[in-house]
Amino acid sequence: MRIVQYGEIPEDPELHRQWNEVAQKMERPEVFYTCEWALAVQGAYRASLKPLLFLGYEGDELVGVASLATNKADENTVFLAASTADYCDFLTQPSSRPDFLDAVLSALEKSKAASVTLANLPEDSATTTALPTAAKKHGFHLHARPAYVCAQVDLCAGNERQELKAMLAGRKSSANIFAEWSARVR
């Protein structure tokens, strides 16, 4: 896996599209994983955080996104959206998570990152099972603990999810999508 690192999220519509496609492949896609969300957080916290974006490629295909940041003194690496208490994660298909996590932690190790704090990982994420091995391999000491009990609302599953995705791809307004979805679940 080839890793590309940026000091901010580039203004690149094709990257934004690919990023959102990767986010859709997560175990439980969240709005918090979208490129638009990361761009909003990057803009809102620019005074206190320096974005640190890692993109994973297999050939020319984007297969992984790690939206991280450091404080201005480069003392701690965190998820970019961690201060907003949103769900945060390494974005890949679950089966690719160990390889991508290994590649990102390798890059952080080479950069001499002083510490890495990965708050707000969902409990059911493939990252939680891949992290101990990758952390040990790259010299990071792991301390994990449950932080919050967070309810998750599953808006749809299975066929309903595919129908919602198809509606979104058809570029209907969000109000129309919600109205159609609401009518189906009543």
Q: What is the pLDDT of residue 79?
A: 87
- Contact, 122 vs 88, CB < 8 A? no
Q: Helix crossing, 97-110 with 126-137: angle to 10°?
A: 40
- Contact, 89 vs 33, CB < 8 A? yes
Coil vs helix vs strand at 138:
coil
- Band of pLDDT at residue 157, cut at 50, 70 and 90: low
* pLDDT tens track for 113-127: 778 888 887 888 888
Residue linked to tokens 């690496």: 77
Q: Helix crossing, 174-185 with 159-169: angle to 10°?
A: 160
- Band of pLDDT at residue 21, cut at 50, 70 and 90: very high
Q: What is the pLDDT of residue 172?
A: 46
The pair of structure tokens assigned to 122 is 């969902």
Average pLDDT over residues 35-64: 93
* pLDDT tens track for 105-154: 999 888 887 788 888 878 888 888 888 898 889 888 777 766 555 555 56
The dihedral over CA atoms of 113, 117, 123, 126, expressed in degrees to the nearest 10, equals -10
DSSP lists the bridge partners of residue 3 as: 56
Min mean pLDDT across 9-18, 27-36, 112-121, 163-172 is at: 163-172
Q: What is the pLDDT of residue 4?
A: 95
* Strand ranges of the sheet holding 116-117, from the earlier edge strand across to the other edge: 2-6, 49-58, 61-71, 77-79, 116-117
| Amino acid letter for position 122 | P
- Cα Rg of the chain, angstroms: 17
